């Protein structure tokens, strides 16, 4: 039986991005090109021009991603808040998801083609 057919509970583990020390970073730039997905985080707030530090995260080619406003993801907030190991209640905003429902959805949507790939699911939340 493949992983996509199992109903295992999602696990949210803190994921640490080199160069980001706290949750005061926001997503400044998201570029999806033939070179892959690149996300630039900046500290401070987008309304002030006082950014002191920027961190670029490059993923290479990406099978799928979604970009949502937080009010569209209230169920995710509930899941993260009820999982003390996620670190969400302590301010963690970056996660790697094991047993991902999103990856199971990709496998099902592709008729199983994506099961051949080593897909990983990350959640990157904005700290503003």
SS3 sequence of the chain? CCHHHCCCCCEEEECCCCCCCCCCEEEEEEEEECCEEEEEEEECCCCCCCCCCEEEEEEECCCCCCCCCHHHHHHHHHHHHCCHHHCHHHCCCEEEEECCHHHHHHHHHCCCHHHHCCCCEEEECCCC
Please state whether the predicted TM-score (pTM) of the whole model is above 0.75: yes
Mean of per-residue pLDDT scores for the chain:
86
Average pLDDT over residues 40-60: 80
Query: What are the extents of the domains in the chain?
Result: 3-124
């Amino acid at each position: 039986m493949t992983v996509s057919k199992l109903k295992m509970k999602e696990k949210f583990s803190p994921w640490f991005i080199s160069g980001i020390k706290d949750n005061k970073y926001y997503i400044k730039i998201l570029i999806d090109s033939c070179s892959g997905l690149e996300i630039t985080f900046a500290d401070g707030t987008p309304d002030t021009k006082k950014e002191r530090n920027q961190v670029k995260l490059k993923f290479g080619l990406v099978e799928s991603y979604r970009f949502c406003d937080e009010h569209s993801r209230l169920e995710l907030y509930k899941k993260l808040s009820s999982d003390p190991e996620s670190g969400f209640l302590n301010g963690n905003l970056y996660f790697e998801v094991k047993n991902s429902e999103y990856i199971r959805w990709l496998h099902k949507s592709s008729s199983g083609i994506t099961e051949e790939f080593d897909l990983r699911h990350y959640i990157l939340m904005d700290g503003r």
